[in-house]
Amino acid sequence: MKLELTPEQSQWQEQFDAFVDEHIVPLADRNDREERIHPDMLKSMIDAGYLGSMLPKNYGGMGLDNVTCGILNEEIGRGCSSARSLLTVHGMVSLAILRWGTEQQRNQWLPQLASGGVLAAFGLTEPGAGSDAKSIETTAVLDGDEYVLTGTKKWITVAQIANLFLIFAKCNGKPAAFLVERERPGLTVSPMFGLLGARGSMIAEVVMTECRIPKQNLLGQVGMGLTHIALPCLDYGRYTIACGCVGLAQACLEAAVEYGSTRIQFGRPLRDNQLIQKMVSEMAVQVKAARLLCYKAGYLRDIGDPDSIMETWTAKYFASTMLGKIVGDTVQIHGANGCHDGYPVERYFRDAKINEIIEGTTQMHEMLIAEQEFVTGRRTVQPKSETVYS
Amino acid sequence: MMEENKVKIKKFLSRFFRKHELADDEDIFALGFVNSLFAMQLVMFLEKEFAVTIDSKDMDLDNFRTINRMAALIEEKTVVDQQL
């Protein structure tokens, strides 16, 4: 076991860190206020190649390993949760096409996705189907050489600007995934505003009214849409969100340390107060622990280990829940200043909560992690024999 | 080779069917422990352990129903890979 980044990974980390400070942090509050990803920020991410971070080089991607991809999402998450959301969903769709696309689909879409010429959105959630993804009501009916899609998708991240949607629908009662171009007649996108956090995620409702697509736009086979397409997409999404939580928690820690060092009360900096020190030390430990869980998940993903799936659930659960505590303490340390948008911690507080909902709520994680333990962790334990004293 | 592969598959499956001795021709879906997470893990395991790629056309439940059928799929894919 070797618990350290490779020289290449460390180099990437430095590059991502500098990029975020230069291009992401300065526009993050504006993204939040204007409820959009600022075009300059998007352009800088595209120019840096980050939209192809998860794709191999032969399709124009960066060919990063999963640990490095995780570091990128951590750093972007440190700066702006909305930008990290864009990277997440774009990657989910890109990887689904890479894994299950036909040669024609891969050649058509992956270079454009890697270059940022096409932005992708993931269309699974519906007004009546969130955690219960099996209950989606969107339908796909094969009519000659076309599928006809009808239904409504809701809370779809970056749908306001996406060119390509990965839409999940039921075809003869079986789940299936379809690539749907934005300009297809019958597809309408209605922007949604007023999110609590990650307000620049440019979410929208996507309505398909007898939207016709060529039957070649089916991704994979009918029947494998949820288990083998949506779930691996969500697995990648969960991984990047976990990493993004580490980044946001790191931003909280840095803000708490800075404020605690400079804010004077009772004639001395807050940092001299042992109750403040306790909060900061807990933050530091929790961030380190969450980061290690993410590195482990990333490593297991890189070697294709099936345990990576549960380790990703674990990392996302730990990272998103520890973030809730850390961001609360950060606001607490900032006092009134933490409750006002004059300081970014107010945004961090709202952004953090979103991470406990998306790609599986905290409670879904608790149910699934426990279930897995009950299934795989069972060992026959003999009760202690009664001791008989004479 | 086929028998060795069956042993490896059985060992992996035993993590999920701890209290049950799986027979090579036993339908794992009929046992009721299978969920979508398991299905994902199973595909990842087969790809990593046997260095094969499971394609869209292989995604037929029948290919994964028993240890025998999984071993047959692996053998078929290994032969194809060697021919390429």
| Segments of chain A scoring below 50 in pLDDT | none
Q: What is the pLDDT of residue A263?
A: 98
Work out how many domains chain A is built from and give that number: 3
Nearest C-alpha of chain B: how many angstroms from A11?
29
**A249 and A207 housed in the same domain:** no
The amino acid at A232: P
When CB atoms are compared, the residue of B41, B47, B48 closest to A309 is B41
Residue of B nearest to A308 (CA): B41
Among B37, B38, B46, B60, most A C-beta atoms within 10 A, so best to mutate, is B37
The amino acid at A25: V
Q: Is residue A1 included in any domain, yes or no? A: no
**Interface A-B: count of C-beta contacts within 8 A:** 53
- Taking an 8 Å cut-off on Cβ atoms, the answer to whether A309 and B47 are in contact is no
**A182 and A300 housed in the same domain:** no
Q: Is residue A388 included in any domain, yes or no? A: no
Question: What ipTM was reported for this prediction?
Answer: 0.88
> Which residues in chain B touch residue A236, judged by CB atoms under 8 angstroms apart?
none
CATH of the domain at A104: 1.10.540.10
> Which residues in chain B touch residue A373, judged by CB atoms under 8 angstroms apart?
none
Q: What is the pLDDT of residue B10?
A: 94
When CB atoms are compared, the residue of B15, B44, B45 closest to A376 is B15
pLDDT tens digits, A322-370: 999 999 999 999 999 999 999 999 999 999 999 999 999 999 999 999 9
Measured distance CA(A384)–CA(A381) in Å, rounded:
9
| Catalytic machinery residues of A | 359
Q: What is the pLDDT of residue B82?
A: 64
Measured distance CA(A187)–CA(A213) in Å, rounded:
10
Nearest C-alpha of chain A: how many angstroms from B30?
16
**A194 and A263 housed in the same domain:** no
Measured distance CA(A135)–CA(A125) in Å, rounded:
10
Q: What is the DSSP letter of A129?
A: B
Q: Which residues contact A36 (CB under 8 A, 6 or more apart)?
A: A160, A200, A202
Q: What is the DSSP letter of A165?
A: E
> To the nearest whole percent, how much of chain A has pLDDT over 90?
93
Q: What is the pLDDT of residue A381?
A: 65
Nearest C-alpha of chain B: how many angstroms from A100?
6
**A66 and A187 housed in the same domain:** no
The answer to whether residues A246 and A74 touch, using CB atoms and an 8 Å cutoff, is yes
Q: Is residue A384 included in any domain, yes or no? A: no
Q: Which of A171, A205, A222 is the last residue of a domain?
A: A222
Q: Which of A222, A255, A270 is the last residue of a domain?
A: A222
**A247 and A359 housed in the same domain:** yes
Is the four-CA dihedral B68, B69, B75, B79 of positive or negative sign? positive
Asked if the C-beta of A304 comes within 8 angstroms of chain B's C-beta atoms, the answer is yes
Range of the domain at A155: 121-222
**A106 and A204 housed in the same domain:** no
SS3 assignment, position A378: coil
Q: What is the pLDDT of residue A387?
A: 61
> Which residues in chain A touch residue B48, judged by CB atoms under 8 angstroms apart?
303-306
CATH of the domain at A364: 1.20.140.10
**A252 and A158 housed in the same domain:** no
Token pair recorded at residue A359: 């790609």
pLDDT tens digits, B32-81: 767 888 899 999 999 999 999 999 889 888 999 999 999 999 999 987 66
CATH of the domain at A127: 2.40.110.10
Q: Is residue A267 included in any domain, yes or no? A: yes
Q: What is the pLDDT of residue B80?
A: 65
DSSP string across B18-81:
TTS---TT--TTTTT---HHHHHHHHHHHHHHHT----GGG--GGGGSSHHHHHHHHHHHHHHH
**pLDDT of B83 over the 70 cut:** no
- Taking an 8 Å cut-off on Cβ atoms, the answer to whether A224 and B56 are in contact is yes
B18 pLDDT band (50/70/90 cuts)? confident
- Taking an 8 Å cut-off on Cβ atoms, the answer to whether B18 and A308 are in contact is no
Q: Is residue A382 included in any domain, yes or no? A: no
Q: Is residue A381 included in any domain, yes or no? A: no
**A35 and A145 housed in the same domain:** no
Count the Cβ atoms, other than its own, within 10 Å of residue A40.
Answer: 12
Q: Which of A101, A118, A135 is the last residue of a domain?
A: A118
**A337 and A254 housed in the same domain:** yes
**A165 and A130 housed in the same domain:** yes
pLDDT tens digits, A262-281: 999 999 999 999 999 999 99
Token pair recorded at residue B22: 């799986």
In angstroms, what CA-CA distances link A353 with A277, A320, A357?
A: 24, 8, 7
When CB atoms are compared, the residue of B18, B36, B59 closest to A378 is B18
When CB atoms are compared, the residue of B16, B39, B57 closest to A376 is B16
The amino acid at A164: L
Classify strands A146-156 and A174-181 as parallel, antiparallel or unpaired.
unpaired
Q: What is the pLDDT of residue B32?
A: 75
> Which residues in chain A touch residue B33, judged by CB atoms under 8 angstroms apart?
375
- Taking an 8 Å cut-off on Cβ atoms, the answer to whether A305 and B48 are in contact is yes
The answer to whether residues A199 and A349 touch, using CB atoms and an 8 Å cutoff, is no
In chain B, which among 23-62 make CB contacts under 8 A with chain A? 33, 36-37, 39-45, 47-48, 56-57, 59
Q: What is the pLDDT of residue A38?
A: 98
> Which residues in chain B touch residue A369, judged by CB atoms under 8 angstroms apart?
none
Measured distance CA(A55)–CA(A52) in Å, rounded:
5
**A102 and A192 housed in the same domain:** no
> Which residues in chain B touch residue A239, judged by CB atoms under 8 angstroms apart?
none
**A235 and A371 housed in the same domain:** yes
Asked if the C-beta of B19 comes within 8 angstroms of chain A's C-beta atoms, the answer is yes
Q: What is the pLDDT of residue A379?
A: 60
> Based on C-alpha coordinates, what's the Rg of chain B?
12
In chain A, which among 55-84 make CB contacts under 8 A with chain B? none
Q: Is residue A386 included in any domain, yes or no? A: no
> Which residues in chain A touch residue B39, judged by CB atoms under 8 angstroms apart?
227-228
DSSP string across A281-300:
HHHHHHHHHHHHHHHHHHHH
